A and B are shown apart, each in its own frame.
Chain A
């Protein structure tokens, strides 16, 4: 079945370490996103990519990096520069509809919970 796979589901990091969260989709979607979820807050956009080899910063990109070398993959690296990385991270994808604003359904992965020790 088509969908989005995130790994790992749980990840522990020591301060000063970089960690990479994996996101793979087989939906043939052009657009992919990384969101951060904290208790009591709505999802916040970290990075998004509308097409291979292109990505844009979201609202809270500081301390994070991404790459989009393949259509199906959009890994997120949480760097040591991220001051408060403990959170739940969600990857999503949607069809890219050129010229139309936001009419695509979002598909989400199961999430990755990162804890800094």
Chain B
């Protein structure tokens, strides 16, 4: 069993649609990370959150610690949002992480 499960695995949306990507985890955590991997392969950190909600531009991340669940929302999606979105949670105390397998998002103009 994977410690981090993401859904859906693949997602295709029309430009302008509201998008939700889900992440469930099975371990106790201090913070959860959302990462974006662009088509070239590089990864950037979008959010690190331990409670409630964070917003950055059109991206919103929420977390429910009791339910061990987090969601990443994209409002007014755009083709440049096409990427793989990865959820990660801490593992142990050595700055290590469990990573989800990612959600591949394609936004069509």
> B-contacting residues of A (Cβ < 8 Å)?
31, 33, 40-43, 45, 48, 50, 56, 58, 88, 90, 92, 94, 96-97, 100-111, 113
Contacts and interface: CB of A to CB of B under 8 A. Distances in A.
A45 B95 CA distance: 11
Contact of B48 (A43, A92, A97, A105): A105
A48 B93 CA distance: 13
A108 B2 CA distance: 23
Contacts of A113: 41
A55 to B, nearest CB: 11
A42 B95 contact: no
B48 A101 contact: no
A102 B42 contact: no
Interface string B86-104: 1010111111111111100
B59 interface: no
A110 B2 contact: no
B2 to A, nearest CB: 7
A94 B97 CA distance: 12
B45 interface: yes
A88 B4 contact: no
B90 A106 contact: no
Given A102-B30, A102-B96, A104-B95, A42 B4 contact: yes
5 contacts: A42-B2, A42-B86, A94-B95, A105-B33, A106-B97
A42 B45 contact: no
B96 A109 contact: no
Nearest to B28: A101
Contact of B90 (A33, A58, A101, A110): A101
B40 interface: yes
Given A42-B2, A88-B41, A108-B44, A102 B91 contact: yes
Contact of A101 (B4, B42, B92, B101): B92
Given A106-B43, A110-B40, 19 more contacts: A42-B101, A42-B102, A50-B94, A56-B94, A88-B41, A90-B43, A94-B95, A100-B30, A101-B30, A101-B92, A102-B90, A102-B93, A102-B95, A103-B48, A106-B33, A107-B45, A108-B45, A109-B42, A113-B41
